[in-house]
Amino acid sequence: MLCVVVGLPVACAGDVPEVPVGPGGTLDAELVLGRDIYERRCANCHGADGGGGTGPKLADGSVVEQYPDPADQRALIVDGRNAMPSFDGRLTSGEIDAVVRYTREVLD
Ligand code: HEC
Question: What is the CATH classification number for the domain harbouring 72?
Answer: 1.10.760.10
**What predicted TM-score, i.e. pTM, was given to this entire model?**
0.90
Model confidence at 11: pLDDT above 50: no
Give per-residue pLDDT as tens, 26-43.
999 999 999 999 999 999
Cβ of 42 closer than 6 Å to ligand 1, yes or no, is yes
CA dihedral 29, 34, 37, 40 (to 10 degrees): -100
The CA 88 to ligand 1 mean position distance, Å, reads 13
Q: Residue 14's pLDDT is what?
A: 52
Query: pLDDT for 38-89, tens place per residue?
Result: 999 999 999 999 999 999 999 999 999 999 999 999 999 999 999 999 999 9
The answer to whether the CB of 56 is under 6 A from ligand 1 is yes
- Domain assignment present for 23: no
**Domain assignment of residue 70, given as a range:** 28-105
Residue closest via CA to ligand 1's atom 5 equals: 42
Assess if residue 6 is contained within a domain.
Answer: no
Question: Rounded to 5, what percent of the chain is helix, strand, coil?
Answer: 50, 5, 45
**Residue 33, in any domain of the structure:** yes
Please tell me the total count of domains within the chain.
Answer: 1
Give the closest residue to 2 by CA, choosing from 53, 56, 57, 62: 53
